């Protein structure tokens, strides 16, 4: 059973998520709070496999939650809940180390699958969110490797480069495998090597890097 720490200031949202995960049978909410003020203590006490947090909360919001959690030893992945159209801080959460994003109108089964993916170490990047996020990011790009003319992907093999570009398009491991004619286990190995070579914490930052370089 996947243990989830849930942070959201809306009681109805927390209740709904708790019931959805319970019905899914693979995950359960082991602890919850209305903001992230006690997130470190809750993580240390309950040892969740996934932290699911709203981005907009009074007190300590989802961005600061992400920073505090990823700084911990053996940190669980952080997945941010967002209404997106109203949020102006999604890129900041990515920079802080968030593994993925879920819209609050996500279908119940998709929510369960997203939590399962995060627990396995895979990022949850729906194409809809990725497209909007990248559009916002490229409209106001942060200084990065592309600005200096460097290509940080030069350390990758041609096949790893192909995999990186597919990941940046929002494809899952199985979709990358089908697109490139590889097994899913081979894709996972490639992604592990890519992350190590580029010193990136998750697929989300890889996607932003590839888009920053204009390759996807």
Same topology for domains 2-124 and 143-212, yes or no?
Answer: no
Name the class of domain 2-124.
Answer: alpha beta
Among candidate residues 12, 2, 96, the one with its CA nearest the CA of residue 49: 2
Check pLDDT > 90 for residue 212: no
Q: How far is residue 78's CA from residue 69's CA, in Å, rounded to a whole number?
A: 8
Check pLDDT > 90 for residue 89: no
Overall pTM surpassing 0.85 (yes/no): no
Give, as one character, the DSSP assignment of residue 31: E
H/E stretch holding 7 reads strand 2-7
Sole residue written with tokens 């490797």:
145
pLDDT computed for residue 82 by the predictor: 82
Enter the tokens of residue 16. 């709904």
Check pLDDT > 80 for residue 95: no
Name the class of domain 143-212.
Answer: mainly alpha
Polymer length of the chain: 216
Among candidate residues 56, 75, 73, 59, the one with its CA nearest the CA of residue 5: 75
Q: How far is residue 67's CA from residue 57's CA, in Å, rounded to a whole number?
A: 15
Q: How many Cβ atoms from other residues are within 10 Å of residue 162's Cβ? A: 16
Q: How far is residue 99's CA from residue 77's CA, in Å, rounded to a whole number?
A: 6
Q: Which of 112-126, 157-171, 195-209 has maximum average pLDDT?
A: 157-171
Domain range annotation of the chain:
2-124, 143-212
Higher-confidence residue: 78 or 174? Answer: 78
């Amino acid at each position: 059973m996947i243990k989830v720490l849930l942070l959201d200031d809306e009681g109805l949202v927390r209740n709904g998520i708790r019931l959805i995960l319970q019905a899914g049978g693979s995950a359960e909410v082991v602890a919850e709070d209305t903001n992230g003020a006690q997130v470190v203590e809750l993580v240390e006490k309950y040892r969740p496999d996934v932290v699911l947090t709203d981005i907009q909360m009074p007190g300590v919001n989802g961005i600061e939650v992400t920073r505090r959690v990823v700084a911990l030893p053996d940190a669980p992945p952080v997945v941010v809940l967002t209404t997106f159209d109203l949020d102006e801080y999604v890129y900041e959460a990515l920079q802080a180390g968030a593994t993925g994003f879920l819209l609050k109108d996500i279908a119940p089964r998709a929510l369960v699958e997203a939590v399962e993916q995060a627990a396995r170490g895979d990022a949850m990047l729906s194409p809809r969110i990725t497209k909007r996020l990248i559009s916002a990011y490229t409209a106001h790009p942060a200084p990065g490797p592309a600005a200096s003319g460097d290509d940080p992907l030069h350390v990758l093999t041609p096949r790893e480069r192909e995999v990186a570009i597919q990941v940046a398009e929002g494809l899952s491991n199985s979709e990358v495998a089908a697109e490139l004619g590889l097994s899913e286990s081979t894709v996972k190995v490639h992604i592990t090597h890519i992350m190590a070579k580029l010193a990136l914490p998750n697929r989300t930052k890889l996607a932003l890097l590839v888009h920053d370089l204009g390759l996807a």
